[in-house]
Structure 1
Amino acid sequence: MFFVDAIEVPGLGNRSYLAGGERAAVVVDPPRDVDQVIEAAARRGVRISHVAETHVHNDYVTGGLELARVTGAAYLVPAAARVSFDRVPVGDGDRTAIDPGAGLVLRALATPGHTPHHTSYVLEENGTAVAAFTGGSLLIGTVGRPDLVEPRLTEQLARAQHASAHRLASELPDETAVLPTHGFGSFCSSSRAEGGETTIGKEKVSNDALTRDVDTFVADLLAGLDDVPAYYTHMGPANAAGPAPVDLTPPAVADAGEIAARLAAGEWVVDLRNRVAFAEGHVAGSFNFEAEGQLATYLAWLIPWGKPVTLLADSPDRLAAAQRELVRVGIDRPAAAATGGPADWVRESETPASFPRGTFADLAGRAADVVVLDVRRASERSAGYVEGSVHIPIHALPRRIHEVPGGEVWVHCAGGMRAAIAASLLDAAGRDVVAVDDSFEAAEKAGLDLRIP
């Protein structure tokens, strides 16, 4: 009898998998922090005999090489992937016994599209396909985006995605579970389609790649692609070179004087508390990236790559969780850290800074007199925006902050998290800012004039 355990990585919108029988198991697309994978195997009482990568990842740093080293597992990597370490090269049709006593075999299936070398793995029990680990190929209702490798290859890879989806659908039984790595909020997904569980049969009737002809599918796919997170450019090379083991020990402790000195040196000081607490009081010049949100994605996207970062958290547990999130995207060691609250982080002669929060109803009475800044992505704004608002996506704001017109700035996104990040950036730049902490759906109800392009 086989099992499949999903290992959630919600901050990145990904899943890894532990699958096997009574004695041995394979791990597919493991996260950088491999301790949680080892613990999952221990709970099952199985040995990790194999680690498999569907592709060289562009959105996170893999733990595959380290996991294979620690456990002695064979490391399966697509043969066409250019990497700088020893691995077991896998080609289309290769079969690997995972737990012979349980009749479990992993069959490699070439599914190019997300990357040229992308490979899916079909778990077979006594010759019957029971699960397909589809990585960035067939996702739930969509496919992985094809534009992360080389712009000149994007259309070619989009067509390959269509063909790969059809190959999976034609070669596997309808009841086969489809288990993708991306697509649970990941920017590696080509759309926002979400869901928890699916099968080949369900995807045949709901997935755009399987319900549309190739030309229509490709045109719609390419038209819907959004900006690529800036840090992605560093993930592929790190994975191809072979990531180093992680160090999750606590960072050096920074006192108020050191925090001030790091800010004066132009370093980033990131406050991980929730946006309500940050607005009420924070270290002047610090930025707010909520630990509960997509911390790794947005911090790695906005921070100049390699710039030292000091983390401020309300508890050691929150700090430790943030470290774990950040190593997954290559921010390996904070320069320093501190726990507590603003009173602990500012020097005796200073007081915490603050800024107000509001709702769209509050904005409705002021919209004509203030600057309204929309920091959503272009795809979100295309569905409707506040008349007269300025649009600068959150990921572009650090380099375009000078484009925000003078005056009091009311900044909004779709729900409040990104608006809080933007408000902290503006506040640090000395602007008068109000963070709109509200759902965009409330804008029209509040009486604001909305325009749909």
Structure 2
Amino acid sequence: MDVTVIETPQLGDRSYLIHDGQVALVIDAQRDIDRVESIVEEAGVKLTHVAETHIHNDYVTGGLVLARKHGADYLVNGADDVSFKRTPIADGQTVQIGELSVKAVATPGHTHHHLSFVVEHDGQQAVFSGGSVLYGSVGRTDLLGSEHTVGLTHDQWASARRLAKEATEKAALYPTHGFGSFCSSGPATGASESTLGEQFSTNHVYTEGDEEHFVSELIANLSAYPSYYVHMGPANAAGPTEPNLSVPDSLDPQELKARLEAGEWVVDLRHRVAYSAEHLKGTISFEYGNGASFTTFLGWVFPYDQQLTLVGSREDVENAIRDLSRIGIDSPDAAVGENPAELAPNVPATSYPRVGWDGVLAGRPGGETILDVRRAEECDASHIDGAVNIPLHELVTRMDEVPAGRLWVHCGSGYRSGVAASLLERAGKEPVHIDAMFDEAADAGLPMAG
């Protein structure tokens, strides 16, 4: 059995190609399937089956299109309500794929109809656990609504034990989530590989002996997740189409100006340092270079019913289009060029200050607000004394709560605060972007609380 891991670090997820040297199965394919197809071609195998562990909540699947293009069986739980033809599969059912024996195991918890797949070949065994057992944790159980959370958390507990009976301790474990995805109920462990047996001694779903305590603790530690998740399940159940990943013709200066004046979402992809120094008035800063933060936080705050325009280099625009297609933001327009000022010379340029913690201590008058745009649980754990917390993902809808006057904006690393500073300036506020690691604030001399 040969397993190829297909990483999508921008979303903290993995897809998998499994083959016996002749025929292959792909599990949990991301939407940009050209990556998968190139790996299948390199392996010199025939793709005969594509499978989903669940109807995903954090990305748009490429499984349906991949299966159709290759004439492969599309294995989706028969209990899932979908609008496309699939090869229904159920708990306990085994499918023979060449020399691979693939058994579906019901592991509800992340979703009601979640499946894991136990694959056996030539004495080897591997478990593809999707959003069930992850490295050090399990998939979160609150994505289908609060009324389901308690029941699904009990299901996660039981499902972990079901997997322990269905596979050996030596079985390699291959989860889909848990590498930075918000689909994980806990932080990523940093592990790149594991076995089921290793999880027995390191994963709280196994080490916690009290089911009720496990349930209450997991639920208490669930944090906010990106708002774009609400769009993913319905899109996947409807049957996603293949995305258009081509770079569109660049907008002319007048059209770009009109969009900015109309208050449309025009996103500048340059580094936040370059953006703060000079940018087109009305644009929003989402630095592309930090791919994981770009996809997650743009998807979190962008209104899905609006047109998106990207401004940046051809390379950044091309990469951003691919990343955004994975979360269902299709066919954005673009103004392509290294210097935004040259793309719209008839639009005024503006800037705002960017400082580190030393700059805060030296330049901030005592009465001016420090605005913390980290998530609430981050702020609760530790924060600058007197800071006002409005999480980035709530900032647009809570703009009327932002205090008057100059705003010294920080987050955990400088990325979110750069986005927030641009949103504040766009709303007529006066931001100062604190581009620094929060962990260094105390050492720099900022008073801390929490």
Partner of 1:187: 182
Q: How many residues align?
A: 445
Runs of 4+, deviation exceeding 3 Å = none
Offset at residue 433 of structure 1 (A): 1.0
Kept after mapping to 1: 8 A contact 2:56/2:236: yes
Amino acid at match of 1:346: A
Amino acid at match of 1:222: I
Kept after mapping to 2: 8 A contact 1:122/1:132: yes
Kept after mapping to 2: 8 A contact 1:55/1:118: yes
User: Counterpart of 1:50 in 2: which secondary structure?
Assistant: strand
Partner of 1:324: 322
1:171 to 166, 169, 189: 166
Question: Aligned ranges for residues 396-411 of structure 1 at < 5 Å?
Answer: 396-411=394-409
User: Counterpart of 1:382 in 2: which secondary structure?
Assistant: helix
Amino acid at match of 2:82: V
CA distance in 1, matches of 2:168, 2:366: 59
User: Counterpart of 1:343 in 2: which secondary structure?
Assistant: helix
Cα deviations by residue, 1:123-177 (Å, 9 ceiling, x for unpaired): 1014x45211110000110001011112211000001001111221233211211
Partner of 2:29: 30
Question: Aligned ranges for residues 204-219 of structure 1 at < 5 Å?
Answer: 204-212=200-208, 213-219=210-216
2:251 to 244, 249, 254: 254
Cα deviations by residue, 1:47-74 (Å, 9 ceiling, x for unpaired): 1111000000111110000000111110
CA distance in 2, matches of 1:295, 1:73: 33
Alignment of 1:220 with 2:217, yes or no, is yes
2:111 to 112, 115, 136: 115
1:155 to 138, 141, 150: 150
User: Counterpart of 2:18 in 1: which secondary structure?
Assistant: strand
User: Counterpart of 2:263 in 1: which secondary structure?
Assistant: coil
Offset at residue 341 of structure 1 (A): 1.1
Partner of 1:70: 69
Partner of 2:381: 383
Stretch of structure 1 that moved more, 61-70 or 300-309: 300-309
Kept after mapping to 1: 8 A contact 2:335/2:343: no
Amino acid at match of 1:147: D
CA distance in 1, matches of 2:284, 2:53: 36
User: Counterpart of 2:349 in 1: which secondary structure?
Assistant: coil
Question: Aligned ranges for residues 291-302 of structure 1 at < 5 Å?
Answer: 291-293=288-290, 294-302=293-301
Amino acid at match of 1:83: V
2:102 to 102, 106, 117: 106
2:432 to 427, 431, 434: 434
Alignment of 1:241 with 2:238, yes or no, is yes
CA distance in 1, matches of 2:23, 2:192: 26
2:132 to 137, 141, 146: 137
Amino acid at match of 1:225: L
Offset at residue 407 of structure 1 (A): 1.2
Offset at residue 332 of structure 1 (A): 0.8
Alignment of 1:373 with 2:371, yes or no, is yes
CA distance in 1, matches of 2:126, 2:236: 26
Stretch of structure 1 that moved more, 318-327 or 355-364: 355-364
Kept after mapping to 1: 8 A contact 2:263/2:282: no
Offset at residue 202 of structure 1 (A): 1.2
- Which structure 2 residue ranges, 5 or more long, are not aligned? none
Partner of 2:3: 4
CA distance in 2, matches of 1:246, 1:360: 43
- Tell me the TM-score normalized by structure 1: 0.96
- Which structure 1 residue ranges, 5 or more long, are not aligned? none
User: Counterpart of 1:307 in 2: which secondary structure?
Assistant: coil
1:393 to 391, 395, 403: 391
User: Counterpart of 2:151 in 1: which secondary structure?
Assistant: helix
User: Counterpart of 1:399 in 2: which secondary structure?
Assistant: coil
CA RMSD of aligned residues (A): 1.3
Identical residues among aligned pairs (%): 47
Question: Aligned ranges for residues 260-299 of structure 1 at < 5 Å?
Answer: 260-293=257-290, 294-299=293-298
Kept after mapping to 1: 8 A contact 2:317/2:334: no
CA distance in 2, matches of 1:148, 1:191: 14
Partner of 1:443: 441
Cα deviations by residue, 1:12-46 (Å, 9 ceiling, x for unpaired): 11110111111111110000011110001111111
Amino acid at match of 1:154: T
CA distance in 2, matches of 1:415, 1:259: 31
Alignment of 1:61 with 2:60, yes or no, is yes
